[in-house]
Amino acid sequence: MKGTAPVLPATVERVLALAERQLSPEEVRAALAVPLGEDEEDESRSLIRWFRRRYPTPGDRLAYARRAYLRWTAARPRP
């Protein structure tokens, strides 16, 4: 991109390490114990409704997930 500084390899490695780390059971329980706020719940419901309209059948949803996974893994930065 024009006008942006290159990302340092150490930064990419750090972000990947954070994104791929395994959470402990305690961390998962703590995160799940925090209730969604009203705005976040409304937004989640809205996104779910949109997704179910856009991909009405389980097969449509699975096909989307497969395409998206390929896109995400192809675009993933490598250290």
Read off the pLDDT of residues 12-62 as tens digits, 9 standing for 90 and up: 899 989 989 999 999 999 999 999 999 999 999 999 999 999 999 999 999
Number of domains, the chain: 1
Q: Would residue 56 count as lying in a domain?
A: yes
Q: What separation in angstroms does the CA of 57 have from each of 49, 51, 60, 61?
A: 13, 10, 5, 6
The predicted pLDDT at position 23 comes to: 95
Look at residues 22, 17, 16 and name the one whose alpha carbon lies nearest to residue 77: 16
Q: Would residue 8 count as lying in a domain?
A: no
The predicted pLDDT at position 17 comes to: 92
The C-alpha angle 51, 54, 56, rounded to 5 degrees, equals 90
Q: Would residue 16 count as lying in a domain?
A: no
Q: Would residue 12 count as lying in a domain?
A: no
Q: How many whole angstroms separate alpha carbon 3 and alpha carbon 77? A: 20
Q: Is 79 a residue whose pLDDT tops 80?
A: no
Q: Is 3 a residue whose pLDDT tops 80?
A: no
Domain range for 41? 21-75
Q: Would residue 32 count as lying in a domain?
A: yes
Contact (Cβ atoms closer than 8 angstroms) between residue 12 and residue 77: yes
